[in-house]
Amino acid sequence: MTLKKTAAGLLILTMAITGAACSSKDSATSPSPAATTTATPQATAAVSQDTTNMKGYIAARIAREKVDYLFAEAKSADGAFVVNPIAATDKETAKKFLSSYVDATMLDTLVNHYVTDTKAGAAFLTNTKSYFTSNILTTKKEDITFDAANTAELVKFTTKDGATYTTKKVNDKYLLAEVK
């Protein structure tokens, strides 16, 4: 009988502690009316534009990293640059790999610039001359001038050395669309 009373007592104590923990969690996570604030439309727009600009800038940097990884990292036995066999084997698989980072409007031109018709063993040699006139990977946010007409769908910016990058939003992701 004592064992039953002890078990019942522990069950009641556990339920009381669980109930107290749940009710204190609910009150801690529920905002009170006095705690809520509303941002002014101008402040929200400024933050959103800065965020959008940075997303476009970061997307361009990532695209450049992927291009370098694919075309300027792997070498053949004789030391020539080849399409990185870890990511792609030819123009079509290179396009497929880059399609997550580069917009379709730029993809053919970019891949055709790098992938040659010459092979070293099973791998295609790549053009060693960069498609890009400047290296965005060496820039900092302070080196960038964002276009005042940027939108949530299109981000354009210029580096301090004069290269202009355009990224556009495709399926909720920014892709590199143009470099001049």
Per-position pLDDT tens, the chain of length 180? 544 555 455 545 455 555 544 444 444 444 444 444 444 454 445 448 999 999 999 999 999 999 999 999 999 999 999 999 999 999 999 999 999 999 999 999 999 999 999 999 999 999 999 999 999 999 999 999 999 999 999 999 999 999 999 999 999 999 999 999
**pTM for the predicted model, two decimal places:** 0.73
The C-alpha atoms of residue 79 and residue 153 are separated, in whole angstroms, by 42
Domain positions in the chain are 45-179
CB 89 within 8 A of CB 46: no
Give the whole-angstrom CA distance, residue 95 versus residue 92. Answer: 5
Q: Where are the beta strands (DSSP E) in 60-121?
A: 115-120
Class of domain 45-179 as given by CATH: alpha beta
